[in-house]
Chains A and B, each alone.
Chain A
Amino acid sequence: MPLASYQTSVPVVVDDVKCIADKGCTVCVDVCPLDVLRISDMTGKAYMAYDECWYCMPCEADCPTGAVTVNIPYLLR
């Protein structure tokens, strides 16, 4: 059966200016318990690829440059 994707605002926001994933950093991707972060092929920066967040904070707490912000998902804000 045909599939469609639907829009969702994701809770984890990465500041591309501060993110150093293009220099080889993978800290946020490594620590995420739900494995929802990836490095973009296009920008070389980290981003939230899957909307499956537990809003637990390791990505924000462990980011060496303070580039990651965890927001409360809209559905429960």
Chain B
Amino acid sequence: MALDQIVDGLSEVSCDVLVIGGGTAGPMAALKAKLKNPKANVVLLEKANVKRSGAISMGMDGLNNAVIPGYATPEQYTKEITIANDGIVDQKAVYKYAQNCYSIIEELDSFGIRFLKNENGDYAVKKVHHIGTYVLPMPNGETVKKALYRQLRRARILISNRYMATRLLKSGDGRIAGAISVNTRTAEILVIKAKAVILCMGAAGRLGLPTSGYMFGTYENAANSGDGYAMAYHAGAALANLECYQINPLIKDYNGPACAYVAGPFGAFTANNEGSRFIECDYWSGQMMLEFYNELLSGKGPVFLQLKHLHPDTISEIENTLHKVERPTRGLFQQGRGVDYRNESIEMHISEIGFCSGHSASGVFVDDNARTTVPGLYAAGDMASVPHNYMLGAFTNGAVAGIDAMEFADNHDFAEFDAADVASERDRVLAPTRREDGIPPNQVEYKTRRLVNDYLQPPKVTRKYELGMRRLAEMRQDMQEHMIARNAHELLRALEVQSIMDCADMAVHASLYREESRWGLYHWRTDFPEKDNENWFCHTLLSKQNGKMTSEKRAVEPYVVPISDDEKDLYDRQRIRASA
């Protein structure tokens, strides 16, 4: 049989709770849903393979936002995240996370994932944030996915690998009814009826093009092409603050961090070409990224992570972590460049743009129960709007979503969807396979993402955005009329390009709507250079209304933890001032 040959087929299955995405939030959501009602059917659908999918495919070096009694309180954490996000935070969800995350840490511990402890047996929490102490290393962090997978098997979760979900199904009255998916190796269609659906599909990481020019050399797992954002949008769910991009400080040319979260607590720091510190704090915020960007352009760049001043044993310890987990090819990369941390600083640069609440504040809008604006539809992890989630947020909010979704499924029967919706989606999915001649998906994708870099990367200029919008519309037409897929694998890529295009359109629309600058580099509009609290101290919600992309303001919920006037601008003061 020819490679990835397309097979004509359509089947239908049903389950109580469908979890889409088996990375970090998804497995936890599936597990919690199943444990809540062991008699119910829980399906975990995954585009790759749950064993090694998602952002933590090769594990993680630690927890970046652990709220551990004795080191931090939920109030402190909520306050810090609110300030780091320029106040645009619905605190209820952040506070709930902060209260719940310690029990999730204990649960992960019971799965066999270890957390660093000091000689007294207490958790050895490190300080990286501007104000509080929340970073907890994981000595066997490379085993996270294996530990999760064991739990999924034990709980008898039904896992379907290599299925890409493409659209959600809804009933006439707007309730969730299931999802349509396509097998990535055969192109067969699978319709899954479900009483509740949880989206855990990760970041939109293939939006901008890495400067290396290598399309899959993205910061995020390159499988995270923004399918969840596109599906939520087309289902009519609201998406929050998409103009708050993700942009991260990474090793130049390599798609992993240097990484200050690991090395900072040992005494490493971000320095300019003169070897001087220029930022107060290495915690990833838009304000910090703006100073990083300014330094790169100031003539004082390049920017480096400096650790050569540390003791060789300390450097070996850092090296051992950096070259073993999260992105283990980091060591191979440095070796190829002849970089030894003992005598050379690590050159850094800034990443391509993307959407990811893991480190910023955008995503499918959810409340403190992980509910989206569509009844029966949930979202968790990097694609849901709870800000600065990181891995522990994905686990904790995934758990919240799993429990609430099963409760919803227990109280509702299947919603009826229109068979015509399946037929039209099947036609849309397979359209590139039915053309004899045209443009391959890799070229449509490259050109789209190059336009994203050319026109959408901050600083955001209105005129550039308008030109970008026009060029993207031309690209969309090419994609819809001329893109071809000659086998099932190419079809997978062709479908991903459509998600990327949707995300690019949403990025443009959301960015043009918010007429102010906020979140440092993430939403720096040169035509509106100031923060405008009078008009824009609010969320923006983007949604599809009557077939059209629409944005509206939504008030920030009253704070649970008050922020005093002298605290609220703490993250605006990232640049180290010249000492007298």
Whole-angstrom distance between the Cβ of B433 and the nearest chain A Cβ: 15
Q: State the Cβ distance, B403 to closest chain A Cβ, in Å.
A: 28
Q: Are A56 and B215 in contact (CB under 8 A)?
A: no
CB of B52 within 8 A of CB of A31, answer yes
Tell me which residues across on chain B come within 8 A of A65, comparing CB atoms. Answer: none
| A30 vs B185: C-alpha distance when bound (angstroms) | 12
Q: Which of the candidate stretches B309-317, B324-332, B453-461, B555-563 sits at the interface with the other chain? A: B324-332
Cβ–Cβ < 8 Å partners of B49 in chain A: 30-33
Residue in contact with A72 in the complex, picked from B57, B221, B329, B439, CB distance below 8 Å: B329
The count of residues in chain A whose C-beta lies closer than 8 Å to any C-beta of chain B is 27
A37-70 Cβ-contact flags toward B at 8 Å (1 or 0): 0100000000001101111111001100000001
Given A55-B329, A72-B332, 5 other A-B residues pairs in contact with their CB atoms under 8 A: A30-B49, A53-B216, A54-B216, A56-B221, A77-B336
In the assembled complex, how far is the CB of residue B496 from the closest CB belonging to chain A, in whole angstroms? Answer: 10
Is residue B218 contacting chain A, with contact meaning CB distance below 8 A?
Answer: yes
Beta-carbon nearest neighbor of B253 in chain A: A76
Contact between A58 and B214, CB atoms less than 8 A apart: no
A17 at the interface (CB under 8 A from B): no
Binary interface encoding of chain B residues 202-235 relative to chain A, with 1 for a CB under 8 A from any of its CBs, else 0: 0000000010111111100111000000000000
Q: Is residue B162 contacting chain A, with contact meaning CB distance below 8 A?
A: yes
Neighbouring A residues of B222 by C-beta, 8 Å: 33-34, 52, 54
User: For the side of the interface on B, what is the size category?
Assistant: 35 or more
Contacts of A49 in B (CB 8 A): 3, 489
> Can you name 29 A-B residue pairings with CB atoms under 8 Å?
A1-B439, A30-B49, A30-B51, A30-B161, A32-B49, A33-B48, A33-B57, A33-B222, A34-B216, A35-B162, A35-B185, A49-B3, A49-B489, A52-B215, A52-B216, A52-B222, A52-B493, A54-B217, A55-B217, A56-B329, A57-B328, A57-B329, A61-B328, A71-B332, A72-B254, A73-B217, A75-B212, A76-B217, A77-B333
Q: Counting CB contacts under 8 A, is B492 at the interface?
A: yes
Q: Is the CB of A75 within 8 A of B329?
A: no
- A61: chain B residues within 8 A (beta carbon): 58, 328
**Taking the nearest CB of chain B, how far is it from the CB of A69, in angstroms?**
10
In the bound complex, CA of A8 to CA of B333 (Å)? 19
Considering the complex, which residues of chain A in the window 1-25 have a beta carbon less than 8 Å from any beta carbon of chain B? 1, 3
Query: Does B52 lie within 8 Å of A33, measured CB to CB?
Result: yes
Residues of A within 8 A of B (CB): 1, 3, 30-35, 38, 49-50, 52-58, 61-62, 70-73, 75-77
Chain A residues near B214 (CB, 8 Å)? 73, 75-76
CB-based contact A70/B215 at 8 Å = no
- What's the Cα separation between A54 and B439 when bound, in Å? 24
Report B259 CB to chain A, min CB distance, Å: 16
User: Given the complex of chains A and B, what is the CA–CA distance between A73 and B213 in angstroms?
Assistant: 11
Residues in chain B near residue A54, CB distance under 8 A: 216-218, 221-223, 255
> What 1/0 flags go to B153-185 for Cβ under 8 Å of A?
000000001100000000000000000000011
A70 to B438 alpha-carbon distance, docked (Å): 33
Residue in A49, A56, A61 with the greatest tally of chain B CB atoms within 10 Å: A56
5 nearest interchain CB pairs? A76-B212, A58-B52, A31-B52, A33-B48, A76-B253
A58 to chain B, nearest CB (A): 4
Pick from B53, B212, B327, B332: contact of A33, CB under 8 Å: B53
**Could you say which residues of chain A place their CB within 8 Å of the CB of B184?**
35
Whether B3 pairs with A35 at a CB distance below 8 angstroms is: no
**B437 beta carbon closer than 8 Å to chain A:** yes
Interface code B42-55, partner A: CB below 8 Å = 1, 0 otherwise?
Answer: 00000011011110
What 1/0 mask marks residues of chain B from 426 to 469 whose CB sits below 8 Å from any chain A CB?
00000000000111100000000000000000000000000000
Known contacts A1-B437, A54-B222, A57-B329; is-contact A32 B3 (Cβ 8 Å):
no
